[in-house]
Structure formats: structure tokens, C-alpha cells
Amino acid sequence: MTLATLENVLQPALKDGYAVAGLVTLGWEDMRAYVEAAEGLGVPVILQAGPSCRAHTPLPVLGAMFRHLAEAASVPVVAHLDHGYTREECTTALDCGFTSIMFDGSREPLERNIELTAEIAKIAHAAGASCEGEVGFVGYAEGEASTGTDPREAARFAAETGVDAMAISVGNVHLQQDASDGLDEARIAEIEAVTDVPLVIHGGSGVPRQQRQNLARNTSICKFNIGTELRMAFGKSLRGVMMANPDAFDRVEILKQTHLPLVEAAQDVLRSIRGEETEL
């Protein structure tokens, strides 16, 4: 069994200069493909259940699926709750076997965010799990605007919450379909100068690939969350299958044909954030 916590996989990444992928899952088809992709490259992977995933599939089912995959995997697999907004949601995830939770208090004032996140981190640690928090606010493409992370607030947040990883807002945006002009590296440097916790980039699909590698290799950014990029790859594959077989109706047979393209897309993502000079 290679079920791991966030701390288990991020501390080696911080020490050795690479990043780990937090891959946003929506169902069995993608989470299975992501683990196979990680095994093929011999790298750890973080399976993430975000709000849209949880709206479709109950937490107990997701926890069981994540743990089932981890038990048979040859690489470390983290069962991670992404964007948990309430104490109840986070504790339910822990009860369902998740090994890591991201509590998102980023819409709250700083003092309240610190208070709530510290409480959840304490609960997670007591359960043998890890906790990620967010300071600043990472916005959404065509939605809520971002509020950049203040380095002074980041220093307080890291010191007072006890989180194992800290998500920051440095030009990254959720649900971005195309690569942006890149992240604010000066702000990243200011944040890592006053903290020693592994840093996390949400909205990693919008970060140019060369910058992903450079940041993984040379900064405290140890986790890139990738969702949109892989959802687009799955959608493209599924459309291709249906266009080639317009009379197809058996869901299992249809989805089988999307598996290899999704494994390949996930491996491409995993390579893009390792921070290595050559492919794995």
C-alpha cells in the first residue's frame, strides 16, 4: 500500500527541487488513468476531489476509490480533499479515509482565515493527515477576480496555522484554458523569503510549461494543481471516439477508448512540473 499524506510527498520535493502534481479528478476514469500515468513515470501523484467532483460523487465513495487505487499502486498516492469550505466537510473527508485536506478560508478576512485554518490543521494532524491552506485569493477565469498574496500575510499565515502546504495567489487563475503570460516571480521570491512551507499553485493549467519547470526546480513551489488541461484532453478524446463511432451507446466500451489518451496527457503534465532538465 502506498497511500501517502501531502507532507510525505511535498517535503522530499522541497528538499530535492521538484514539484508534485495535484490532479483534479471527476470520476473513476480519470483517477485510474492518473495513477497509471504516475506509475509509468515512477513519480508520486495527488488525487484531488474538488467541489464539482464531490457534487457528483459522495465523499465516502471517493475516499474508497482513492484508497483502492493507492493500495495497488507502486508509487505514493495522496487522497486529497480540494477546496473544503467547512469544518464538517473536512472532518467527513478524514472519516472517509482522505489523507490530506485543503481548507479554503481565502474568502474570509485574514484573521478569520488563520483561525479557521489552524483549527482544521490541528484536526487533520490529530488524524495523521496533512492540511493545505490558502492565503490571498486565487480567482476564476471569467469569474471572481484574484487578490494577490501579501508576503507579510503569508508569513503570518504559515507561522500561525501550522499548515503543511500553502496555496498562494501570484497571477494564477482557476479554470484557465490557455497559458497566461506567467506568474509573478518577484512576488513568489518575496513570499518564500519569509516562509519555509511548501508553496502551492492552483490553476496550474494556465502556467506556461517552461515556467512550471523553472519554478519547481528553483523555488519553494512544490505542488501544481492541474485540472482544466486534463479535462480538455478527456473531452477531446471522448468527442473523437463518438465522432468515429456515432452509433456507439455502451458507456464502458466508449470510455475504454479514452483511457490511453488520458494516461498520455497526464504523463505529459507530470513531466512538465518535475523541474528536470530531461524527460523522465
Element (H, E) at 14: helix 6-16
Q: List Cβ neighbours of 150 (8 Å cut-off, separation of 6 or more).
A: 135, 136
> What's the CATH number where 159 sits?
3.20.20.70
d(CA 278, CA 271): 9
Q: What is the pairing mode between strands 199-201 and 130-135?
A: unpaired
pLDDT at 139: 73
pLDDT at 279: 43
What range defines the domain where residue 173 resides?
Answer: 3-268
pLDDT at 277: 46
Residue where the block lists cell 523522465: 280
250: annotated active-site residue? no
Residue 109 lies in a domain: yes
pLDDT at 175: 59
Residue 121 lies in a domain: yes
pLDDT at 209: 86
Q: Are 216 and 177 in contact (CB under 8 A)?
A: no
Q: What is the pTM of this model?
A: 0.93
Catalytic residue among 82, 104, 150, 164: 82
pLDDT digits (tens, 9 = 90+) for 173-223: 775 666 667 888 999 999 999 999 999 999 888 888 888 899 999 999 999
Residue 47 lies in a domain: yes
pLDDT at 142: 72
Residue 251 lies in a domain: yes
Q: DSSP string of 108-156?
A: S-HHHHHHHHHHHHHHHHHTT-EEEEEESB--BTTSSPPBPPPHHHHHH
Q: Are 53 and 26 in contact (CB under 8 A)?
A: yes
Residue 83 lies in a domain: yes
Task: Please give the angle made by the CA atoms of 261, 265 and 268, to the nearest 5 degrees.
Answer: 140
pLDDT digits (tens, 9 = 90+) for 93-130: 999 999 999 999 999 999 999 999 999 999 999 999 99
Total domains in the chain come to 1
What CA dihedral angle connects 131, 134, 135 and 139, to 10 degrees?
Answer: 180
pLDDT at 4: 97
pLDDT at 278: 39
Q: Are 93 and 81 in contact (CB under 8 A)?
A: yes
pLDDT at 275: 59
The set of cell numbers assigned to 270 is 507530470
CA-closest candidate to residue 200, choices 226, 180, 181: 226
Q: Are 43 and 16 in contact (CB under 8 A)?
A: no
Mean pLDDT over all residues of the chain?
91
d(CA 50, CA 40): 25
